[in-house]
Chains A and B, each alone.
Chain A
């Protein structure tokens, strides 16, 4: 990736509140899917070699999308474990094998060679696992080290008839490969963000007291699909914030609950909403959050919440670059917030993004300070920052910003304004 510092920007969004480390990356307008598959394949194979894995058997939707480049409109969790594509990645074979279910019209385009495309496998059933075992025996050499991301009951019952030795967890291989995004993955994520922002902008413009939360969700799915979204990733959040922490839902942490589910609740004048939505474009996710006030401008106290949040984002971005650690960012955020961690204790200051809306690394979780301090950012990693600030009586402020970590800093993928809050002069 080439990069060059620029000194001005006409974008709305985070560059209005943070400049230190701002980098411009040349990102193509459209993804090159063939190149993406080649480069992702190389990353996966490198991680397999490094970790001594000879064969990956992948069942998880996100992992199959990652390894094969296929995408399809994902189904509910309750349906998706039965009819699902399965991928087998072999050391020494540049192409993955793909076992495809035929869920109605699913558009599963793939440029894989014909001998790598297989019919569906049903790994929830003994009969399905037995058929899969026969195919695998012809693909995976005896004695190979196999890694997998899920063992269904039928797979466990099959035991050595399926895997000659107990498989290891595919998680570390996948996480290593996924950490740095290829340029075409970044293109897909940026496109997902653009689709999301265009849909959200229309919703925000028409937001009036009396609208139901669920109407916002309805408009969101319609607009994002019209604009080319493949999948709605989770139930859209339009959470009405309580007047005080004490008025909010009970939580295990004593802090705020988030995300609370969307209902038919009508929004009232002055409600403060924390929004959180995500779609996928060709298998790659957006993640979008802002704070809105229904039907009015922020009070001075509310505006101060945004100003505090903006200072935290600025401080975090000022230390974001390749070579920094999760710990560095957590400390910068905490210092900017006056010594308190400015994120919800059940979540994180930030997280990665790719075929899932949230993936590694997570910053500031129960993985612990040592873990955070040891996690060093490579260039080309993506982060979603989601600090929160809160003061009873204001509804607080929460927003999400996606950036690519670069050698010298960061490049934003989110370009959404902060209305109805005012961005002060900036820095």
Chain B
């Protein structure tokens, strides 16, 4: 991270914009009007204040296909790449009409034909035509997802750096795990280590929980205390230079029983099937089938999702079965893959690792140790 706020590296910025331009061409989009933090970062290469959760759509970054010009909602120039000049920066606004005025002043706004937005609100659906009177409003999220889907080599590097910090966070949670501690204290330890490791922006804050012995996916009902005999899930997620890294492990508190060992072995069996499914040319639904092949029940959460600046496609979950069947894995995709097994009266073993799809199959990017259990990373 360092002591200066700096734009993303030039090669990273240019490689991403090149992909976005190619997709704008394919989707015939003249201008992108973006509101989502990940898309804004993808195009602008500028770090902005991290704010948690979804946000309502607003025009934060505009990218003009014909000129390559970028306009950005930023009140200052710290961390803004050199190719975005001062005159293309516009400050915070609370009145949507102020933003309409900004958009109207973009060169070519009055003649542009197809405007792509990454989301919309009914209000901006009404207001954007005032800035682009001759344009059709089109969904641009599909184009951006297509651009973001395959990682550039610079992006894979960024993901590797993010993973190192997430792994430090996880290790801090492991070190703090003792009977008598609490979920809150463990979450605090994980988040503290991530911040001290140079990344104060968490991707996820659901960092530690006692898995339920009674319910296949809920956390244990209780006061948040960790006790002997609990299977405790630790999950670290960071957002480093905009890129998401997620890793998770489950640890047993105490001397593992035979039932616990058996559950970890089930996890390992499942993991092997999942890794086999991570290869180019096969549908993402293979990850759902891996659960079936391993004889495991599909978990409530997605089995895998793309990693990049936030979620990237695919999102592999039984609720999107047809989507996953149509989605063919490609070299250069990075997935967070989840293994989840549960046993009544014992609890759950949950692990998550980052996997790069290569020509030869899966490369596990995480280097998280097994922490004394049968879990391998």
| Chain A interfacial positions (CB closer than 8 Å to B) | 59-62, 72-84, 101-107, 119-122, 124-128, 131, 147-154, 156-157, 166-171, 214-215, 217-219, 221-228, 230-236, 249-253, 257, 259-266, 345-348, 362, 365-368, 371
Contact = CB atoms under 8 A, between A and B. Distances in A.
A59 B77 CA distance: 32
B366 to A, nearest CB: 16
Contacts of B139: 152-154, 156-157
A264 B50 CA distance: 16
Nearest to B125: A151
Interface in B41-97: 47, 49-57, 74-79, 86, 89-95
28 contacts: A60-B56, A76-B202, A79-B203, A79-B204, A79-B310, A102-B301, A103-B301, A105-B211, A105-B233, A107-B219, A125-B315, A148-B122, A152-B119, A171-B121, A217-B195, A225-B188, A232-B202, A235-B50, A235-B200, A235-B201, A250-B86, A252-B86, A259-B49, A261-B79, A264-B2, A346-B75, A348-B94, A367-B95
A249 B76 CA distance: 6
B119 A153 contact: yes
Nearest to B86: A250
Contact of A119 (B189, B248, B319): B319
A371 B37 CA distance: 29
A59 B55 CA distance: 10
Contacts of B198: 214, 264
A24 B202 CA distance: 38
B3 A263 contact: yes
Contacts of B301: 83, 101-104
Contacts of A62: 53-54
B141 A262 contact: no
A257 B76 contact: yes
A214 B194 CA distance: 10
Interface string B155-188: 0000000000000000000000000001011011
Given A77-B50, A250-B86, A252-B91, 7 more contacts: A128-B320, A150-B121, A222-B188, A232-B52, A264-B1, A346-B91, A347-B92
Given A73-B205, A105-B211, A153 B3 contact: no
Nearest to A106: B206
B123 A78 contact: no
Contacts of B56: 60, 149-150, 171
Contacts of B92: 346-347
B187 to A, nearest CB: 5
Contact of A104 (B50, B315, B350): B350
Contacts of B310: 76-79, 81-82
A125 B326 CA distance: 12
Interface string B294-328: 00000111100100011100010101111100000
B200 A60 contact: no
Given A59-B54, A82-B305, A169-B123, A263 B2 contact: yes
A125 B323 contact: yes
Interface in B198-246: 198, 200-207, 209, 211, 217-219, 233, 235, 237, 239, 242, 244
B262 interface: no
B4 interface: yes
A253 B91 contact: yes
B200 A236 contact: yes
Nearest to B172: A222
A252 B102 CA distance: 13
Contacts of B77: 249-251
A218 B219 contact: no
Nearest to B187: A225
Contacts of A266: 3
B204 A76 contact: yes
B121 A75 contact: no
Given A264-B2, A348-B94, A217 B86 contact: no
B219 A105 contact: yes
Contacts of A346: 75, 91-92
A335 B372 CA distance: 66
A105 B191 CA distance: 17
Most chain A Cβ neighbours within 10 Å, of B5, B188, B310, B317:
B188
Give 4 closest A-B pairs by Cβ, nearest first. Answer: A78-B310, A153-B139, A102-B300, A105-B209
Given A76-B310, A231-B205, A168 B122 contact: yes
Given A226-B185, A231-B52, A253-B75, A104 B248 contact: yes
Contacts of A120: 300, 317, 319
A366 B93 contact: yes
A345 B91 CA distance: 9
B140 interface: yes
Nearest to A224: B188
Contacts of B122: 147-148, 151, 166-170
B121 A169 contact: yes
B346 to A, nearest CB: 16
B374 interface: no
A104 B234 CA distance: 10
B30 interface: no
Given A74-B52, A150-B56, A222-B188, A214 B200 contact: yes
